[in-house]
Amino acid sequence: MKTLALVLVLLNLGLACLALQCSVVPGSLKQIDAGNGQVFGVNSKDEIFTLYSKGWVQVPGSLKHVSVGPAGVWGVDSDNYIFRLQRGDWTVFPGLLKQVDAGGVTSPAGVNMYDDIYCLPGDEGATWISLPGKLKYYSCGPYSCWGVNSADNIYIMKEVTQTSCGGSLKWEQIPGSLSMVEVSTDGKVYGVNSNGDMYEREGISSSSPSGTKWRQIQLRQRIKHISYDLGHLWLITSNDSIMDCTENQ
C-alpha cells in the first residue's frame, strides 16, 4: 500500500460550515467498516485488512464485504458464504449473504443475492430469521436498522432489540434516495447516493430513531462507501482511496 499525502478539507454541512480535518490514508480499499473502536476493510482483490497502530495489517482470508461491531467481525466472500472471525480464524457460518452487518447489539444482519433480508438472534445455536421486504443493503445500530432497496428507497426498522433482531417487522420509508446506508455503534446514520454524494441523518436518538432530516456533506471527491465510529468518518472514494475525517477542534 503506497503512502498518500495528508490533505485538509472543509466540508460544508447544510447551511453551516463545519471544519473537518481529513487525511488521505495510505492504501486502497473498495469497502470499509468501523465499529467498537476497530476498522476493517477489503480491497479490489478481496484481500482483508484491519487498522492497527495507524497502519494496515493484512488479515488472512478472502472477503468481498466485511463488518465489525458489537456482534463481532463478520464477512461474506465472492460465493456469498458467511464467515465470522473467532479467536483469530474465520469460521464458516450457515447461510448465504451478499452483505452482512455486525452493528446490532448482539445480532448480525444482512441481505442475500435475491435482496431477501435476514437477522441472527443472539441466542446460542440460533438460525437466521427471514424478515419481510427486499433490500440490497442493510445496517443496524442501537436504536434501529436501516436499509436501501434496488430503487435506492430508504427504510427503517424500529424496535430492534437484543432479544428481537426482527424488531417491529414493519418498514417505515424515509424520504430521500441512497445507494448505501450505515448505522454507527452510537446510532449515527450516514449514507451515500448513486452520484457519490454523502449525507448524515440529523435528530436521531433513542426516542426518535428515524431522526428529522438529511444533511448533505459537501466534498469534492465522489464517495462510494462511508462508515463512522468514535468521532472518525471513514470514506472510500470512487477510485478506492481511503479518507479519515475528524472534526477540527
Query: What per-residue confidence (pLDDT) applies to 244?
Result: 95
Q: Are 35 and 67 in contact (CB under 8 A)?
A: yes
Checking if the pLDDT of 136 tops 70, the result is yes
Q: Which residues contact 105 (CB under 8 A, 6 or more apart)?
A: 70, 71, 122, 142, 161, 162
**Helix count and strand count (H, E) for the chain:** 0, 25
Give per-residue pLDDT as tens, 155-204: 999 999 888 899 999 999 999 999 999 999 999 999 999 999 999 999 99
pTM, two decimal places: 0.90
- Domains located in the chain, CATH noted: 9-247 (2.130.10.30)
Q: What mean pLDDT is reported for the chain?
A: 89
Q: Which residues contact 21 (CB under 8 A, 6 or more apart)?
A: 8, 245, 246, 247, 248
Give per-residue pLDDT as tens, 35-70: 999 999 999 999 999 999 879 999 999 999 999 999
What are the beta bridge partners of residue 69?
A: 72
Give per-residue pLDDT as tens, 82-111: 999 999 999 999 999 999 999 887 789 999
